[in-house]
Structure 1
Amino acid sequence: MQPENGFVRHVGVACGCDSCSTAQGGAEKDGALSRRGFLASAVGGTAAVLAGATVSTTRPALAQSTLTPDAALKELMDGNQRYVGGQLQSLNEDLSILKAKTAEKQEPFAALLSCADSRVPVEFVFDQSIGRLFVVRVAGNITTPEITASLEYGVAVLGTKVIMVMGHSNCGAVKATIEGKAVPGQIGALYAPIWPAVNAAGPDLDAAIDANARIQATLLSEASPILAAAIKEGKLKVVAARYDIATGKVTLL
């Protein structure tokens, strides 16, 4: 049997590799399998495997030009349901084809402003492969001029239909802001954008995390003329959400 991606697939019968040949030789000595019987079993077993196999390919590209903001949001949330259920489709896609298709251009249907926390793997969380999401990450998922500029680019140039500002459970940046402890270097620069959420929600961490996501989403919607115009024209939706690290579930706020 020929190797697939450097590995030999074993289908429940001897396949002709070195390890199986040894076992086959012993079986033939015992009269358990004739060569003809072995070949018939191998062909039948392989056919059974192929009949139930999932062929790696790529999902059809989203019709970005006609996709509505609501449809884009639904695509995100449907992907999260697959992630929570352990039914990821993106892992079955052919990486070489994806690379070739996205080498010259990108057409993301959604943009994400998320925390830089390593426990928030955005593409996995929404079961999306290369080229589908425009992701901006910063500790505390805060809005700054640079962040806003990046998301304006995503909408005005790349054509994203929805922006999701996504906080997450047990966010260290929000927690540090609540505690207000002295920190080294420029880490303290994260505090100021998060303070409005802490002031609104009080010392409750979960409430502050949700308030922060909402406030940052509002800032994006109102402070950027480009985003505000796209929202008014029905071309864009900006939403706030929360990701639960323990369950993997994303909840709209």
Structure 2
Amino acid sequence: MTEGNARFVAGEPRHPRQDVERRNELAGGQRPRAALFGCSDSRLAAEIIFDEGLGDLFVVRNAGQVISDSVVGSLEYAVGVLEVPLIVVLAHDACGAVGAAIESVRPDAPALPPLIWRQIAPIVPAVRRVLGGRDAATALDPEEVGREHLRDTVAQLLHASELISQAVADGRLAIVGANYRLAEGTASPVVIIGDAGDQPAA
């Protein structure tokens, strides 16, 4: 995935394994190389930014990459049934869900529709930690909040799933929390759990 992202950043994608032969090969089953849990943002198309092909990634997405039962169940399927050796949790800069969570703690914040509030509420603890007791009107760096939320997401995934945490403990699975920069196209590790190769955490 690192090599594919480098090709994408350089503007030299190969678009591998996207032909008729690959499609036919996969008709009988899948064996993805990794699972990716990321934000639903339209600018974060996983197979494009990592220059992957059909059947390479098992992708789960929602706004703000917020842990839920459906997310955990999907990732447990990827680990327990498809036996992926890697989960990438992908956050990004300029995230609308993070921005909404930051705005929601301001004293004059308008009420959000209930389901949108429920989606962004898990990001609010990261906002409050970055605030660190300062006034809620304080300007915050959305990227700092996003990285804090990314760490929370990885921790929540491990806490929510005994199957996934056991796979990490057994050395069968690594989890990488990475941050994607929209303008540059780069995906950089922020937190690494387990043996994910030689990627340094940022």
TM-score grouping bracket, smaller chain normalisation: 0.7 to 0.9
Q: Return the alpha-carbon distance in structure 2 between the equivalents of residues 96 and 236 of structure 1.
A: 31
Deviations 1:213-245 (A, max 9, x none): 111011112321000110011000112110011
1:169 to 2:98 alignment: no
Which stretches of structure 1, 4 residues or longer, exceed 4 Å deviation after superposition? none
Q: Return the alpha-carbon distance in structure 2 between the equivalents of residues 189 and 109 of structure 1.
A: 32
Q: State the structure with bigger RCO (CA 8 A, min sep 6), 1 or 2.
A: 2
Give SS of 1:117's match.
coil
Please identify the structure whose Cα radius of gyration is greater: 1
Q: Residue 185 of structure 1: CA displacement?
A: 4.8
Specify which of 20, 23, 41 is matched with residue 117 of structure 1: 41
Is the contact made by 2:18 and 2:53 (CA closer than 8 Å) also made in structure 1? no
How do 1:63-74 residues align onto structure 2 when only pairs under 5 Å count? none
The aligned counterpart of 2:194 is none
Specify which of 82, 87, 104 is matched with residue 7 of structure 2: 82
Change in CA separation of 1:94 and 1:184 when aligned onto 2, cut-off 3 Å: closer
Instruction: Name the structure with the higher strand share.
Output: 2
Q: Residue 135 of structure 1: CA displacement?
A: 0.4
Q: Return the alpha-carbon distance in structure 1 between the equivalents of residues 171 and 64 of structure 2.
A: 28
Identity of aligned residues (%): 37
Q: Residue 196 of structure 1: CA displacement?
A: 1.8
Is the contact made by 1:221 and 1:238 (CA closer than 8 Å) also made in structure 2? no
Is the contact made by 1:112 and 1:164 (CA closer than 8 Å) also made in structure 2? yes
Is the contact made by 2:36 and 2:57 (CA closer than 8 Å) also made in structure 1? yes
Q: Return the alpha-carbon distance in structure 2 between the equivalents of residues 213 and 228 of structure 1.
A: 17
Figure out how many residues of one structure are paired with residues of the other and give that number.
Answer: 177
How do 1:21-100 residues align onto structure 2 when only pairs under 5 Å count? 76-90=1-15, 93=17, 95-100=19-24
1:219 to 2:144 alignment: no
Q: Return the alpha-carbon distance in structure 1 between the equivalents of residues 103 and 114 of structure 2.
A: 17
1:159 to 2:96 alignment: no
The aligned counterpart of 2:129 is 200
Instruction: Name the structure with the higher helix share.
Output: 1
Is the contact made by 1:155 and 1:227 (CA closer than 8 Å) also made in structure 2? yes
Q: Return the alpha-carbon distance in structure 1 between the equivalents of residues 114 and 126 of structure 2.
A: 23
Give SS of 2:51's match.
coil
TM-score by length of 2: 0.84
Which runs of 5 or more structure 2 residues have no equivalent in the other structure? 132-139, 191-202
Give SS of 1:218's match.
helix
TM-score by length of 1: 0.67
The CA RMSD measured in Å over matched residues stands at 1.2
1:188 to 2:125 alignment: no
Amino acid at match of 2:116: I
Change in CA separation of 1:94 and 1:146 when aligned onto 2, cut-off 3 Å: closer
Greater displacement, 188-197 / 131-140: 188-197
Deviations 1:110-132 (A, max 9, x none): 11110000011110111100000
Specify which of 173, 178, 185 is matched with residue 241 of structure 1: 178
Q: Return the alpha-carbon distance in structure 1 between the equivalents of residues 173 and 56 of structure 2.
A: 16
